[in-house]
Amino acid sequence: MKLKETFVFFVVKWANHEVTQSRHKVSQSFIYFAELEVENMIEPFNDEYFMKKAFAEALQAFEEGEIPVGAVVVSKGKIIARAHNLTETLNDVTAHAEMQAITAAANLLGGKYLNDCTLYVTLEPCVMCAGALAWAQIGKIVYGASDEKRGYQRLATKAPHPKTEIVGGILETECRELMLEFFKTKR
Ligand SMILES: [Zn+2]
């Protein structure tokens, strides 16, 4: 048994033991927490896992002198597209990470709609990208840092597709600090 598995095993064993021994002395919330921990350890392919992959793309953008925003598209638990901001390289204001990711994912799937896909992006999408993601009918959007100036939430709350599930704030600190670091070097 690996170290991680051993730990999980003992957490479960201990939690069960406590419940049977002291008859609900251990609060249900703790048991829930323990189960949550176990779930996270067994299933590493969670939002944080894929956001780290998007973050790696953002780092790549940083190294290329691009505003560090990265994205990945996940379908059925697999990454089918990776992209980062290329506005400087391509001299194209529309070359945001999300736009690249939508095109790459649709090419790979051979269809324009991304209903079964989740897009992970390190920064809250702008109005253009939220609109493009709506056209693609993306199933879910997970973003890292909020964008108070250009984010769709401030400028166009209805831009995303009404059926798209949206989660924000995953690895928020890391994603935000990377942006701040980038603009510090530009000053
Ligand atoms: Zn955008």
What is the pLDDT at residue 6?
Answer: 41
Give yes or no for residue 26 having a pLDDT over 50: no
| 98 in catalytic set | yes
Mean pLDDT across 58-80? 97
Q: Taking the CB of residue 40, how many other CB atoms lie within 10 A of it?
A: 13
Mean pLDDT across 59-73? 97
State the pLDDT confidence band at 167, using cuts at 50, 70 and 90. Answer: very high
Distance between Cα 129 and ligand 1 center (Å): 4
What is the pLDDT at residue 12?
Answer: 47
Q: Which amino acid is at 109?
A: L
State the pLDDT confidence band at 35, using cuts at 50, 70 and 90. Answer: low
**Catalytic-labelled residue, pool 5, 98, 148, 172:** 98
Structure tokens at 48: 């944080």
Distance between Cα 164 and ligand 1 center (Å): 17
Residues 47 and 72: beta-carbon distance below 8 Å = no
**Is 24 known as a binding-site position?**
no
| Among the listed residues 121, 127, 185, the one whose alpha carbon sits nearest the alpha carbon of residue 156 | 127
